Structure 1
Amino acid sequence: MKRIGYLLSLCLVFLVATGDLWGQSGKPLFPETPGLVSYTHRKSFEKDVAATLDTIKSLGITDMEFSNLFGASPNALRDMLDDRGIKCSSYGVSYDALVNKTDEVGLNAKILGASFVRIAWIPHEGAFTVEDAKKAAKDFNKAGKKLKKKYGVAFCYHNHGYEFVSYKDGTLFDYLMQRTNPEYVSFEMDILWTFFPGADPAELLRKYGSRFKLMHLKDLKKGVKGDFSGKTSPENDVPLGTGQINIPEVLKAAKEACVKHYYIEDESKLKSVQVPQTMAYLKGLKE
């Protein structure tokens, strides 16, 4: 009897410590259902847009970032999204399109119902330089101003790793932040491409706060070493919580920064298995 009483006491201590007593498991850290980046299912979208949207909706996902129209017109894609109760909150385009086809980009974004336009790569040869960053900042300010004033959509730049090379007392990412107008240029943090070159995603969120409006959720396979190339094997994408990034810390910092949209991105061949794993992990996180 004493042994049974001792074991029951241990169980009670465990339940109280973990917050599971009487079903009280703590407040969810990530209560909303995350969105998804279309690139995750790029090959399926290329074959059948409607069927791929059905698959995504079956997961309970209703928020998406599209970086490709996959052969459909903006109007046709919007109709397919509306039919399924899915919203395109962010529309990704190329640097060239942003700079040279700003009006077309803005109009397409409006048709899709997107609140944001983003790009994810600044063209450069070899190592990313301050001259590359200087030109990009100028282009971002100009295009961002037009997109906001004429089309009512916000511009975001999605980091890709190469921007974190050292420059003066900081990095070229800091330089981009300093040289862009907060009124017209915001940022989308890709947490893998922040961690990969050695930066701390949570620290960066705390430093720049509301400049970050969007976020790509992805984790980096354990043992993989990063660099400033902005490139790694797609198979190094792993479910959140199984890689190298401190996801709870990042999400807490993102919440404080008031990030508006979170998108799961998984470029690997295992996306059909890993995306549900990531969603389950997020659902189980407690503050």
Structure 2
Amino acid sequence: MKKQLLALGFSASMLLGLTDVVAQKGKPIYRFPIGVQAYTYRNSFPKNVIATLDTIKALGITEMEGGAPKGMTSQEFRKLCEERGIKIVGTGGGYEQLVKDPESIAKQAKELGSSFVMCAWIPHKRGEFSLENAKQAVTDFNRIGKVMKDNGLTFCYHNHGYEFQPYEDGTLFDYLVKNTNPEYVSFEMDILWAQHGGADPVALLKKYPNRWKLMHLKDLRKGVKGDLTGGTPPENDVVLGDGQVNIPEILKIARKNGVKHYFIEDESNQEYAQMPKSIAYLKGLKE
């Protein structure tokens, strides 16, 4: 083939350029460890922690976001994970507990070996997230985030869709980003909930390139129209790549912005069937 192209007038430098293009097209889009949100296996952990962790290991997953199952200490769970080559990168805390006693959440995170603490819900009347809710969250998050930073941890708020209520020339999510201190508060993008709430995940990543630290990977069934409730039936959570979220473009921008930890979160009730397919999809994505 090389001789034929040279005969047609292609120079050696042109051939080198063509080779580079072919090589780039073969590069994987997803270049990070495979992670999982422990909520994916919410039905399995209470039944058998060991078997669930063995399943996670068998899938090639090496990072997790979550906490110790009921009846087990953080240290015990961390040991079981580490024995299987799984690092608990991040953990979560309920809003009320984070407000009341952030030090206890920080202690728990360090016992798990985590670097990140996330909050996934701001209390509010369903479907009516308000400016007052956002203002209170800003005050609380800035204080919680400082406590986490003082403990060597990074605090992240995880969007849930309801924050995209219109406000001024943007949304209440914009208000949260602009009024929280970047030194203390970062964000974890849940791409399904961003899409469900009417936002464009790609545009959000571009708009706030330095605020995103973590990401939940999940896909929303095609044809589903979102809303501002922060809720959708489990059957609307489909295999990555089968839904309406532009995952390849999201991953490219997130990688460029420095996001290093990605957790598949399958909220369907078909996680054992869907997880292997979602992982295969990620590994198969090429530029």
Do the two structures share a fold, i.e. TM-score over 0.5? yes
Amino acid at match of 1:274: Q
Structure 2 match to 1:14: none
8 Å Cα contact 1:68/1:93 also seen in 2: no
Structure 2 match to 1:248: 248
Within 5 Å, which residues of 2 pair with 1:16-95? Answer: 26-67=26-67, 69-95=69-95
Structure 2 match to 1:144: 145
Aligned residues: 267
Change (3 A) 1:106 1:22: closer
The structure with the greater share of residues assigned to helix is: 1
Structure 2 match to 1:168: 168
Q: CA deviation at 1:68?
A: 5.5
Partners of 1:184 and 1:97 lie apart in 2 by 18
Q: CA deviation at 1:253?
A: 1.1
Q: TM-score, normalised by structure 2?
A: 0.90
Structure 2 match to 1:11: none
> Percent identity at matched positions?
57
Q: Secondary structure at the match of 1:209?
A: coil
Within 5 Å, which residues of 2 pair with 1:77-156? Answer: 77-126=77-126, 127-149=128-150, 151-156=151-156
Q: TM-score, normalised by structure 1?
A: 0.90
Partners of 1:67 and 1:273 lie apart in 2 by 24
Structure 2 match to 1:6: none
8 Å Cα contact 2:162/2:230 also seen in 1: yes
8 Å Cα contact 2:158/2:188 also seen in 1: yes
Q: CA deviation at 1:67?
A: 4.9
Cα RMSD for the two superposed structures: 1.6
Q: CA deviation at 1:179?
A: 0.9
Is 1:177 matched with 2:177? Answer: yes
Provide structure 1 residue ranges, at least 5 long, that are not aligned to the other structure: 1-18
Change (3 A) 1:24 1:173: closer
Partners of 2:247 and 2:103 lie apart in 1 by 37
Q: CA deviation at 1:24?
A: 8.4
8 Å Cα contact 2:45/2:69 also seen in 1: no
Q: Secondary structure at the match of 1:216?
A: strand
Amino acid at match of 1:236: N
Q: CA deviation at 1:86?
A: 0.8
Provide structure 2 residue ranges, at least 5 long, that are not aligned to the other structure: 1-18
Is 1:214 matched with 2:207? Answer: no
Structure 1 match to 2:7: none
